[in-house]
Structure 1
Amino acid sequence: MAEFLKGLLLSVLSEKCYDEYFIDYNFFDASCFKATLSKGLGIGIIAGSILVKVPQIIKILNSKSAQGINVYGVYLELFAITANFAYSYVMGFPFSAWGEGTFLAIQTAIIACLVLHYGGAPIKAAGFLGAYVGLVSALIGGFTPTDVLWTMQAVNVPIILIAKSIQVITNYKNGSTGQLSAITCFLLFGGSIARIFTSIQETGDFIIILTYCVSTAANGALVLQLCWYWNVDATKASKNKNKKKKKHA
Protein backbone atom coordinates (compact mmCIF):
# COMPACT_ATOMS: atom_id res chain seq x y z
CA MET A 1 0.00 0.00 0.00
CA ALA A 2 2.84 2.36 0.91
CA GLU A 3 4.55 1.68 -2.42
CA PHE A 4 1.28 2.29 -4.27
CA LEU A 5 0.82 5.65 -2.54
CA LYS A 6 4.43 6.58 -3.26
CA GLY A 7 3.95 5.74 -6.94
CA LEU A 8 0.78 7.84 -7.01
CA LEU A 9 2.56 10.80 -5.41
CA LEU A 10 5.53 10.45 -7.78
CA SER A 11 3.13 10.99 -10.70
CA VAL A 12 2.85 14.57 -9.44
CA LEU A 13 6.09 15.01 -7.45
CA SER A 14 9.67 14.59 -8.55
CA GLU A 15 11.94 12.27 -6.53
CA LYS A 16 13.67 15.33 -5.05
CA CYS A 17 10.38 16.92 -3.96
CA TYR A 18 9.09 13.62 -2.59
CA ASP A 19 12.19 13.41 -0.39
CA GLU A 20 11.81 17.07 0.65
CA TYR A 21 8.17 16.59 1.69
CA PHE A 22 8.02 13.05 3.09
CA ILE A 23 11.56 12.31 4.29
CA ASP A 24 12.96 15.71 5.32
CA TYR A 25 9.48 17.14 6.08
CA ASN A 26 10.47 20.39 4.42
CA PHE A 27 7.10 21.68 3.24
CA PHE A 28 8.33 25.18 2.48
CA ASP A 29 10.71 24.46 -0.41
CA ALA A 30 9.83 27.13 -3.00
CA SER A 31 11.13 25.26 -6.06
CA CYS A 32 9.20 22.11 -5.13
CA PHE A 33 6.05 24.10 -4.47
CA LYS A 34 6.20 25.68 -7.94
CA ALA A 35 7.05 22.37 -9.62
CA THR A 36 4.24 20.52 -7.83
CA LEU A 37 1.73 23.30 -8.54
CA SER A 38 2.72 23.26 -12.20
CA LYS A 39 2.38 19.48 -12.45
CA GLY A 40 -0.97 19.54 -10.65
CA LEU A 41 -2.28 22.31 -12.89
CA GLY A 42 -1.09 20.41 -15.95
CA ILE A 43 -2.89 17.24 -14.90
CA GLY A 44 -6.01 19.28 -14.08
CA ILE A 45 -5.96 20.99 -17.48
CA ILE A 46 -5.59 17.64 -19.26
CA ALA A 47 -8.49 16.17 -17.26
CA GLY A 48 -10.64 19.21 -18.07
CA SER A 49 -9.68 19.15 -21.75
CA ILE A 50 -11.28 15.73 -22.20
CA LEU A 51 -14.68 17.44 -22.13
CA VAL A 52 -13.86 21.13 -22.68
CA LYS A 53 -15.36 21.36 -26.19
CA VAL A 54 -18.11 18.81 -25.65
CA PRO A 55 -20.62 21.58 -24.72
CA GLN A 56 -19.86 23.22 -28.08
CA ILE A 57 -20.34 19.91 -29.93
CA ILE A 58 -23.60 19.19 -28.10
CA LYS A 59 -24.87 22.72 -28.82
CA ILE A 60 -24.28 22.22 -32.56
CA LEU A 61 -25.87 18.75 -32.56
CA ASN A 62 -28.93 19.86 -30.59
CA SER A 63 -29.58 22.85 -32.82
CA LYS A 64 -28.54 20.96 -36.00
CA SER A 65 -26.79 24.18 -36.95
CA ALA A 66 -23.29 25.66 -36.83
CA GLN A 67 -24.61 29.16 -37.46
CA GLY A 68 -22.18 31.87 -36.33
CA ILE A 69 -19.14 29.55 -36.30
CA ASN A 70 -16.58 30.44 -38.94
CA VAL A 71 -15.10 27.25 -40.39
CA TYR A 72 -11.85 28.98 -41.42
CA GLY A 73 -11.35 30.11 -37.85
CA VAL A 74 -11.85 26.48 -36.74
CA TYR A 75 -9.30 25.27 -39.33
CA LEU A 76 -6.69 27.74 -38.10
CA GLU A 77 -7.35 26.89 -34.45
CA LEU A 78 -6.97 23.20 -35.26
CA PHE A 79 -3.67 23.88 -37.02
CA ALA A 80 -2.41 25.77 -33.94
CA ILE A 81 -3.43 22.99 -31.53
CA THR A 82 -1.96 20.27 -33.76
CA ALA A 83 1.35 22.11 -34.27
CA ASN A 84 1.64 22.64 -30.51
CA PHE A 85 1.13 19.06 -29.41
CA ALA A 86 3.16 17.60 -32.30
CA TYR A 87 6.13 19.88 -31.55
CA SER A 88 5.90 19.18 -27.80
CA TYR A 89 5.62 15.42 -28.36
CA VAL A 90 8.65 15.26 -30.65
CA MET A 91 10.69 17.52 -28.32
CA GLY A 92 10.00 15.11 -25.46
CA PHE A 93 8.32 17.64 -23.13
CA PRO A 94 6.38 16.10 -20.17
CA PHE A 95 2.86 14.98 -21.11
CA SER A 96 1.52 17.18 -18.31
CA ALA A 97 2.83 20.22 -20.25
CA TRP A 98 0.91 19.57 -23.48
CA GLY A 99 -1.38 16.52 -23.13
CA GLU A 100 -4.60 18.51 -23.45
CA GLY A 101 -3.62 19.25 -27.05
CA THR A 102 -4.49 15.70 -28.10
CA PHE A 103 -8.03 15.94 -26.68
CA LEU A 104 -8.56 19.49 -27.93
CA ALA A 105 -7.43 18.45 -31.41
CA ILE A 106 -9.91 15.56 -31.54
CA GLN A 107 -12.78 17.76 -30.38
CA THR A 108 -11.85 20.66 -32.68
CA ALA A 109 -11.65 18.27 -35.66
CA ILE A 110 -15.17 17.03 -34.78
CA ILE A 111 -16.42 20.63 -34.67
CA ALA A 112 -14.86 21.31 -38.08
CA CYS A 113 -16.62 18.23 -39.47
CA LEU A 114 -19.95 19.31 -37.97
CA VAL A 115 -19.61 22.83 -39.39
CA LEU A 116 -19.00 21.34 -42.84
CA HIS A 117 -21.78 18.76 -42.43
CA TYR A 118 -24.44 21.25 -41.34
CA GLY A 119 -23.15 23.68 -43.93
CA GLY A 120 -24.30 21.22 -46.59
CA ALA A 121 -20.98 19.51 -47.37
CA PRO A 122 -21.01 16.04 -45.72
CA ILE A 123 -18.53 14.60 -48.28
CA LYS A 124 -16.09 17.42 -47.55
CA ALA A 125 -16.48 16.66 -43.83
CA ALA A 126 -15.48 13.00 -44.35
CA GLY A 127 -12.57 13.97 -46.63
CA PHE A 128 -11.33 16.54 -44.14
CA LEU A 129 -11.30 13.99 -41.32
CA GLY A 130 -9.30 11.49 -43.37
CA ALA A 131 -6.78 14.14 -44.43
CA TYR A 132 -6.35 15.33 -40.86
CA VAL A 133 -5.61 11.84 -39.51
CA GLY A 134 -2.97 11.42 -42.23
CA LEU A 135 -1.38 14.79 -41.39
CA VAL A 136 -1.11 14.01 -37.67
CA SER A 137 0.47 10.62 -38.44
CA ALA A 138 3.11 12.35 -40.57
CA LEU A 139 3.85 14.97 -37.90
CA ILE A 140 4.35 12.66 -34.93
CA GLY A 141 5.52 9.54 -36.75
CA GLY A 142 9.07 10.75 -37.36
CA PHE A 143 8.45 11.79 -40.97
CA THR A 144 8.63 15.54 -40.29
CA PRO A 145 11.95 17.31 -39.51
CA THR A 146 12.17 19.05 -36.13
CA ASP A 147 12.93 22.38 -37.84
CA VAL A 148 9.60 22.17 -39.68
CA LEU A 149 7.76 21.44 -36.44
CA TRP A 150 9.47 24.38 -34.73
CA THR A 151 8.48 26.65 -37.62
CA MET A 152 4.88 25.44 -37.36
CA GLN A 153 4.92 26.20 -33.64
CA ALA A 154 6.37 29.68 -34.28
CA VAL A 155 3.71 30.36 -36.91
CA ASN A 156 1.12 29.54 -34.22
CA VAL A 157 1.43 33.03 -32.76
CA PRO A 158 -0.03 34.91 -35.77
CA ILE A 159 -2.32 31.97 -36.62
CA ILE A 160 -4.00 32.02 -33.20
CA LEU A 161 -4.51 35.77 -33.55
CA ILE A 162 -5.97 35.38 -37.04
CA ALA A 163 -8.18 32.41 -36.07
CA LYS A 164 -9.69 34.15 -33.06
CA SER A 165 -9.92 37.47 -34.93
CA ILE A 166 -11.98 35.79 -37.66
CA GLN A 167 -14.44 34.55 -35.03
CA VAL A 168 -14.46 37.92 -33.22
CA ILE A 169 -15.21 39.73 -36.50
CA THR A 170 -17.90 37.17 -37.39
CA ASN A 171 -19.54 37.76 -33.99
CA TYR A 172 -19.32 41.52 -34.47
CA LYS A 173 -20.91 41.39 -37.93
CA ASN A 174 -23.69 39.10 -36.68
CA GLY A 175 -24.22 41.16 -33.54
CA SER A 176 -24.29 37.83 -31.70
CA THR A 177 -22.08 34.92 -30.66
CA GLY A 178 -24.41 32.43 -32.41
CA GLN A 179 -23.75 28.79 -31.51
CA LEU A 180 -20.56 29.51 -29.55
CA SER A 181 -20.60 27.75 -26.18
CA ALA A 182 -19.94 30.04 -23.20
CA ILE A 183 -18.72 27.09 -21.10
CA THR A 184 -16.16 26.11 -23.73
CA CYS A 185 -14.87 29.67 -24.19
CA PHE A 186 -14.49 30.29 -20.45
CA LEU A 187 -12.70 26.96 -19.93
CA LEU A 188 -10.29 27.64 -22.81
CA PHE A 189 -9.55 31.09 -21.41
CA GLY A 190 -8.83 29.72 -17.92
CA GLY A 191 -6.76 26.86 -19.33
CA SER A 192 -4.59 29.14 -21.46
CA ILE A 193 -3.83 31.35 -18.42
CA ALA A 194 -2.74 28.30 -16.39
CA ARG A 195 -0.64 27.05 -19.31
CA ILE A 196 1.55 30.17 -19.24
CA PHE A 197 2.72 29.17 -15.75
CA THR A 198 3.08 25.44 -16.48
CA SER A 199 5.01 26.14 -19.71
CA ILE A 200 7.47 28.36 -17.85
CA GLN A 201 7.96 25.65 -15.23
CA GLU A 202 8.03 22.51 -17.36
CA THR A 203 9.39 23.48 -20.78
CA GLY A 204 11.15 26.84 -20.53
CA ASP A 205 10.55 27.04 -24.30
CA PHE A 206 10.08 30.70 -25.27
CA ILE A 207 7.94 30.01 -28.32
CA ILE A 208 5.56 27.77 -26.33
CA ILE A 209 5.23 30.41 -23.59
CA LEU A 210 4.62 33.18 -26.14
CA THR A 211 1.97 31.04 -27.86
CA TYR A 212 -0.01 30.65 -24.64
CA CYS A 213 0.28 34.38 -23.86
CA VAL A 214 -1.22 35.19 -27.25
CA SER A 215 -3.84 32.45 -26.83
CA THR A 216 -4.89 33.93 -23.47
CA ALA A 217 -5.37 37.38 -25.00
CA ALA A 218 -7.31 35.95 -27.97
CA ASN A 219 -9.56 33.75 -25.81
CA GLY A 220 -10.11 36.73 -23.53
CA ALA A 221 -11.48 38.72 -26.47
CA LEU A 222 -14.08 36.00 -27.15
CA VAL A 223 -15.03 35.86 -23.47
CA LEU A 224 -15.59 39.63 -23.51
CA GLN A 225 -17.83 39.27 -26.57
CA LEU A 226 -19.82 36.50 -24.90
CA CYS A 227 -20.46 38.80 -21.95
CA TRP A 228 -21.26 41.75 -24.23
CA TYR A 229 -23.72 39.85 -26.44
CA TRP A 230 -25.20 37.73 -23.62
CA ASN A 231 -28.49 39.68 -23.45
CA VAL A 232 -28.64 40.00 -27.24
CA ASP A 233 -28.48 36.22 -27.71
CA ALA A 234 -31.03 35.66 -24.96
CA THR A 235 -33.45 38.12 -26.61
CA LYS A 236 -33.01 36.46 -30.03
CA ALA A 237 -33.67 33.03 -28.56
CA SER A 238 -36.83 34.33 -26.88
CA LYS A 239 -38.08 35.88 -30.13
CA ASN A 240 -37.44 32.65 -32.05
CA LYS A 241 -39.44 30.66 -29.47
CA ASN A 242 -42.34 33.10 -29.75
CA LYS A 243 -42.30 32.83 -33.56
CA LYS A 244 -42.44 29.03 -33.36
CA LYS A 245 -45.37 29.19 -30.94
CA LYS A 246 -47.28 31.51 -33.27
CA LYS A 247 -46.70 29.19 -36.23
CA HIS A 248 -47.99 26.17 -34.32
CA ALA A 249 -50.98 28.20 -33.10
Structure 2
Amino acid sequence: MAEFLRGLLLSVLSEKCYDEYFVKFNFLDGPCLTSTLSKGLGIGIIAGSILVKVPQILKILSSKSAEGINVYGVYLELFAITANFAYSYVMGFPFSAWGEGTFLAIQTAAIAALVLHYAGTTGRAAVFLSVYAAIVSVLISGFTPTDVLWTMQAVNVPIIVFAKSIQVFTNYKNGSTGQLSAITCLLLFGGSIARIFTSIIETGDFIIIVTYCVSTAANGAIVCQLLYYWNVDKSTQIKNKKKKKHL
Protein backbone atom coordinates (compact mmCIF):
# COMPACT_ATOMS: atom_id res chain seq x y z
CA MET A 1 0.00 0.00 0.00
CA ALA A 2 2.85 2.35 0.89
CA GLU A 3 4.49 1.72 -2.49
CA PHE A 4 1.19 2.33 -4.28
CA LEU A 5 0.75 5.69 -2.49
CA ARG A 6 4.35 6.61 -3.26
CA GLY A 7 3.83 5.83 -6.94
CA LEU A 8 0.63 7.85 -6.96
CA LEU A 9 2.35 10.84 -5.38
CA LEU A 10 5.29 10.57 -7.78
CA SER A 11 2.86 10.96 -10.67
CA VAL A 12 2.40 14.53 -9.41
CA LEU A 13 5.66 15.18 -7.54
CA SER A 14 9.28 14.89 -8.62
CA GLU A 15 11.63 12.64 -6.63
CA LYS A 16 13.22 15.73 -5.11
CA CYS A 17 9.90 17.20 -4.01
CA TYR A 18 8.73 13.83 -2.64
CA ASP A 19 11.85 13.69 -0.47
CA GLU A 20 11.39 17.31 0.63
CA TYR A 21 7.78 16.68 1.68
CA PHE A 22 7.78 13.12 3.02
CA VAL A 23 11.39 12.45 4.07
CA LYS A 24 12.60 15.86 5.28
CA PHE A 25 9.07 17.11 6.08
CA ASN A 26 9.96 20.44 4.51
CA PHE A 27 6.59 21.62 3.20
CA LEU A 28 7.75 25.19 2.55
CA ASP A 29 10.32 24.49 -0.18
CA GLY A 30 9.69 27.28 -2.74
CA PRO A 31 10.54 25.47 -6.01
CA CYS A 32 8.58 22.38 -4.92
CA LEU A 33 5.53 24.42 -3.95
CA THR A 34 5.57 26.11 -7.36
CA SER A 35 6.07 22.81 -9.19
CA THR A 36 3.33 21.06 -7.19
CA LEU A 37 0.90 23.92 -7.76
CA SER A 38 1.61 23.80 -11.50
CA LYS A 39 1.13 20.01 -11.64
CA GLY A 40 -2.06 20.25 -9.61
CA LEU A 41 -3.46 22.99 -11.85
CA GLY A 42 -2.52 20.97 -14.93
CA ILE A 43 -4.30 17.86 -13.67
CA GLY A 44 -7.31 19.97 -12.66
CA ILE A 45 -7.47 21.55 -16.12
CA ILE A 46 -7.27 18.11 -17.78
CA ALA A 47 -10.03 16.76 -15.53
CA GLY A 48 -12.21 19.79 -16.29
CA SER A 49 -11.52 19.58 -20.03
CA ILE A 50 -13.20 16.17 -20.21
CA LEU A 51 -16.55 17.96 -19.90
CA VAL A 52 -15.72 21.59 -20.69
CA LYS A 53 -17.50 21.69 -24.06
CA VAL A 54 -20.22 19.22 -23.20
CA PRO A 55 -22.61 22.06 -22.17
CA GLN A 56 -22.10 23.55 -25.64
CA ILE A 57 -22.74 20.20 -27.32
CA LEU A 58 -25.86 19.59 -25.22
CA LYS A 59 -27.16 23.08 -25.95
CA ILE A 60 -26.88 22.44 -29.70
CA LEU A 61 -28.52 19.01 -29.41
CA SER A 62 -31.38 20.22 -27.21
CA SER A 63 -32.20 23.15 -29.50
CA LYS A 64 -31.48 21.15 -32.68
CA SER A 65 -29.74 24.26 -33.92
CA ALA A 66 -26.22 25.66 -34.18
CA GLU A 67 -27.44 29.20 -34.78
CA GLY A 68 -24.86 31.87 -33.98
CA ILE A 69 -21.89 29.46 -34.12
CA ASN A 70 -19.54 30.23 -37.00
CA VAL A 71 -18.23 26.94 -38.39
CA TYR A 72 -15.08 28.57 -39.81
CA GLY A 73 -14.26 29.90 -36.36
CA VAL A 74 -14.69 26.36 -35.00
CA TYR A 75 -12.37 24.97 -37.72
CA LEU A 76 -9.67 27.48 -36.84
CA GLU A 77 -10.05 26.82 -33.12
CA LEU A 78 -9.73 23.08 -33.81
CA PHE A 79 -6.55 23.70 -35.81
CA ALA A 80 -5.08 25.68 -32.90
CA ILE A 81 -5.94 22.98 -30.34
CA THR A 82 -4.61 20.19 -32.57
CA ALA A 83 -1.37 21.99 -33.36
CA ASN A 84 -0.80 22.62 -29.65
CA PHE A 85 -1.26 19.07 -28.40
CA ALA A 86 0.52 17.47 -31.39
CA TYR A 87 3.57 19.74 -30.92
CA SER A 88 3.62 19.20 -27.15
CA TYR A 89 3.25 15.41 -27.54
CA VAL A 90 6.10 15.11 -30.03
CA MET A 91 8.33 17.44 -27.95
CA GLY A 92 7.82 15.16 -24.93
CA PHE A 93 6.34 17.79 -22.61
CA PRO A 94 4.58 16.42 -19.48
CA PHE A 95 0.99 15.29 -20.10
CA SER A 96 -0.11 17.62 -17.30
CA ALA A 97 1.07 20.54 -19.48
CA TRP A 98 -1.09 19.78 -22.53
CA GLY A 99 -3.37 16.78 -21.89
CA GLU A 100 -6.58 18.78 -22.06
CA GLY A 101 -5.87 19.37 -25.75
CA THR A 102 -6.87 15.80 -26.59
CA PHE A 103 -10.27 16.14 -24.92
CA LEU A 104 -10.87 19.65 -26.26
CA ALA A 105 -10.03 18.48 -29.77
CA ILE A 106 -12.56 15.62 -29.60
CA GLN A 107 -15.29 17.93 -28.31
CA THR A 108 -14.48 20.74 -30.76
CA ALA A 109 -14.53 18.28 -33.66
CA ALA A 110 -17.95 17.09 -32.44
CA ILE A 111 -19.21 20.69 -32.37
CA ALA A 112 -17.97 21.28 -35.93
CA ALA A 113 -19.73 18.09 -37.07
CA LEU A 114 -22.96 19.17 -35.35
CA VAL A 115 -22.82 22.61 -36.99
CA LEU A 116 -22.48 20.91 -40.39
CA HIS A 117 -25.22 18.40 -39.55
CA TYR A 118 -27.76 21.05 -38.53
CA ALA A 119 -26.84 23.09 -41.59
CA GLY A 120 -28.21 20.19 -43.62
CA THR A 121 -24.88 18.69 -44.69
CA THR A 122 -24.67 15.47 -42.66
CA GLY A 123 -22.49 13.83 -45.33
CA ARG A 124 -19.90 16.60 -45.02
CA ALA A 125 -19.93 16.15 -41.24
CA ALA A 126 -19.01 12.45 -41.61
CA VAL A 127 -16.25 13.22 -44.13
CA PHE A 128 -14.89 15.97 -41.90
CA LEU A 129 -14.56 13.63 -38.89
CA SER A 130 -12.82 10.96 -40.97
CA VAL A 131 -10.34 13.40 -42.50
CA TYR A 132 -9.63 15.02 -39.13
CA ALA A 133 -8.87 11.65 -37.49
CA ALA A 134 -6.47 10.81 -40.34
CA ILE A 135 -4.64 14.16 -40.01
CA VAL A 136 -4.18 13.76 -36.25
CA SER A 137 -2.76 10.25 -36.77
CA VAL A 138 -0.15 11.63 -39.18
CA LEU A 139 0.79 14.55 -36.91
CA ILE A 140 1.52 12.41 -33.84
CA SER A 141 2.97 9.43 -35.73
CA GLY A 142 6.54 10.71 -35.56
CA PHE A 143 6.77 11.06 -39.33
CA THR A 144 5.81 14.74 -39.32
CA PRO A 145 9.00 16.89 -39.04
CA THR A 146 9.34 18.83 -35.78
CA ASP A 147 9.87 22.04 -37.77
CA VAL A 148 6.44 21.62 -39.33
CA LEU A 149 4.82 21.11 -35.91
CA TRP A 150 6.67 24.15 -34.50
CA THR A 151 5.46 26.26 -37.43
CA MET A 152 1.89 25.07 -36.84
CA GLN A 153 2.22 26.03 -33.18
CA ALA A 154 3.65 29.45 -34.09
CA VAL A 155 0.83 30.07 -36.57
CA ASN A 156 -1.59 29.42 -33.68
CA VAL A 157 -1.19 32.98 -32.42
CA PRO A 158 -2.73 34.77 -35.43
CA ILE A 159 -5.16 31.86 -36.00
CA ILE A 160 -6.57 32.10 -32.45
CA VAL A 161 -7.02 35.85 -32.87
CA PHE A 162 -8.73 35.36 -36.25
CA ALA A 163 -10.90 32.44 -35.08
CA LYS A 164 -12.17 34.26 -32.02
CA SER A 165 -12.59 37.49 -34.00
CA ILE A 166 -14.92 35.67 -36.41
CA GLN A 167 -17.08 34.57 -33.47
CA VAL A 168 -16.93 38.03 -31.87
CA PHE A 169 -18.03 39.63 -35.16
CA THR A 170 -20.79 37.04 -35.61
CA ASN A 171 -22.09 37.85 -32.11
CA TYR A 172 -21.91 41.58 -32.83
CA LYS A 173 -23.70 41.24 -36.17
CA ASN A 174 -26.45 39.10 -34.63
CA GLY A 175 -26.72 41.30 -31.55
CA SER A 176 -26.71 38.05 -29.56
CA THR A 177 -24.45 35.16 -28.59
CA GLY A 178 -26.96 32.65 -30.02
CA GLN A 179 -26.32 29.05 -28.97
CA LEU A 180 -22.96 29.78 -27.33
CA SER A 181 -22.75 28.17 -23.89
CA ALA A 182 -21.80 30.58 -21.09
CA ILE A 183 -20.43 27.71 -18.98
CA THR A 184 -18.14 26.52 -21.78
CA CYS A 185 -16.86 30.02 -22.55
CA LEU A 186 -16.14 30.77 -18.88
CA LEU A 187 -14.32 27.45 -18.38
CA LEU A 188 -12.19 28.03 -21.48
CA PHE A 189 -11.31 31.51 -20.24
CA GLY A 190 -10.34 30.26 -16.78
CA GLY A 191 -8.40 27.32 -18.21
CA SER A 192 -6.36 29.51 -20.54
CA ILE A 193 -5.40 31.80 -17.65
CA ALA A 194 -4.20 28.82 -15.59
CA ARG A 195 -2.32 27.44 -18.60
CA ILE A 196 -0.12 30.55 -18.79
CA PHE A 197 1.27 29.67 -15.35
CA THR A 198 1.62 25.92 -15.97
CA SER A 199 3.31 26.50 -19.35
CA ILE A 200 5.89 28.80 -17.76
CA ILE A 201 6.68 26.22 -15.05
CA GLU A 202 6.44 22.95 -16.98
CA THR A 203 7.54 23.73 -20.54
CA GLY A 204 9.31 27.09 -20.58
CA ASP A 205 8.44 27.11 -24.29
CA PHE A 206 8.06 30.74 -25.38
CA ILE A 207 5.70 30.09 -28.27
CA ILE A 208 3.32 28.03 -26.11
CA ILE A 209 3.30 30.70 -23.39
CA VAL A 210 2.52 33.42 -25.95
CA THR A 211 -0.22 31.24 -27.45
CA TYR A 212 -1.99 30.91 -24.09
CA CYS A 213 -1.64 34.66 -23.41
CA VAL A 214 -3.34 35.41 -26.72
CA SER A 215 -5.95 32.70 -26.09
CA THR A 216 -6.78 34.26 -22.71
CA ALA A 217 -7.33 37.68 -24.27
CA ALA A 218 -9.47 36.21 -27.08
CA ASN A 219 -11.60 34.07 -24.74
CA GLY A 220 -11.97 37.09 -22.48
CA ALA A 221 -13.46 39.11 -25.35
CA ILE A 222 -16.16 36.46 -25.90
CA VAL A 223 -16.90 36.29 -22.16
CA CYS A 224 -17.39 40.07 -22.17
CA GLN A 225 -19.88 39.70 -25.04
CA LEU A 226 -21.72 36.96 -23.16
CA LEU A 227 -22.14 39.31 -20.21
CA TYR A 228 -23.10 42.24 -22.44
CA TYR A 229 -25.69 40.33 -24.48
CA TRP A 230 -27.04 38.33 -21.51
CA ASN A 231 -30.10 40.55 -21.02
CA VAL A 232 -30.53 40.96 -24.78
CA ASP A 233 -30.78 37.17 -25.21
CA LYS A 234 -33.27 36.91 -22.35
CA SER A 235 -35.51 39.68 -23.70
CA THR A 236 -35.41 38.10 -27.18
CA GLN A 237 -36.55 34.77 -25.74
CA ILE A 238 -39.44 36.50 -23.89
CA LYS A 239 -40.52 38.28 -27.09
CA ASN A 240 -40.42 35.01 -29.06
CA LYS A 241 -42.58 33.30 -26.44
CA LYS A 242 -45.13 36.13 -26.56
CA LYS A 243 -45.26 35.92 -30.37
CA LYS A 244 -45.92 32.17 -30.21
CA LYS A 245 -48.80 32.73 -27.76
CA HIS A 246 -50.45 35.23 -30.12
CA LEU A 247 -50.18 32.90 -33.10
Normalising by structure 1, we get a TM-score of 0.98
Match of 2:126 in 1: 126
The alpha carbon displacement at 1:107 in A equals 0.1
Whichever residue aligns with residue 10 of structure 1, its letter is L
**Equivalents in 2 of 1:111, 1:245: separation in Å?**
32
The alpha carbon displacement at 1:133 in A equals 0.5
- What pairs up with 1:82-121 in 2 under 5 angstroms? 82-121=82-121
Whichever residue aligns with residue 212 of structure 2, its letter is Y
- What pairs up with 1:48-63 in 2 under 5 angstroms? 48-63=48-63
- What pairs up with 1:172-187 in 2 under 5 angstroms? 172-187=172-187
The alpha carbon displacement at 1:41 in A equals 0.2
**Equivalents in 2 of 1:105, 1:66: separation in Å?**
18
Match of 1:145 in 2: 145
The alpha carbon displacement at 1:33 in A equals 0.3
Q: Which runs of 4+ in 1 moved over 6 A?
A: none
Match of 1:12 in 2: 12
| Aligned alpha-carbon RMSD (Å) | 0.7
Gaps of 5+ in 2: none
Match of 1:197 in 2: 197
Gaps of 5+ in 1: none
Deviation by residue 1:215-240 (Cα, 9 ceiling, x = unmatched): 00000000000000000001111222
Confirm whether residue 158 of structure 1 aligns to residue 158 of structure 2.
yes
**Equivalents in 1 of 2:121, 2:128: separation in Å?**
11
**Equivalents in 1 of 2:245, 2:120: separation in Å?**
27
Match of 2:221 in 1: 221
**Equivalents in 2 of 1:244, 1:124: separation in Å?**
34
**Equivalents in 1 of 2:156, 2:149: separation in Å?**
11
Normalising by structure 2, we get a TM-score of 0.99
Whichever residue aligns with residue 180 of structure 2, its letter is L
Whichever residue aligns with residue 204 of structure 2, its letter is G
Deviation by residue 1:19-69 (Cα, 9 ceiling, x = unmatched): 001111111110000000000000000000000000000000000000000
Whichever residue aligns with residue 208 of structure 2, its letter is I
Q: Secondary structure at the match of 2:179?
A: coil
Deviation by residue 1:96-138 (Cα, 9 ceiling, x = unmatched): 0000000000000000000001011111111111110010011
**Equivalents in 2 of 1:197, 1:241: separation in Å?**
45
**Equivalents in 2 of 1:238, 1:3: separation in Å?**
60
Match of 1:167 in 2: 167
The alpha carbon displacement at 1:242 in A equals 2.4
**Equivalents in 1 of 2:236, 2:137: separation in Å?**
43
Match of 2:188 in 1: 188
The alpha carbon displacement at 1:12 in A equals 1.1
Count the aligned residue pairs: 247
Whichever residue aligns with residue 73 of structure 1, its letter is G
Match of 1:233 in 2: 233
**Equivalents in 1 of 2:141, 2:79: separation in Å?**
17
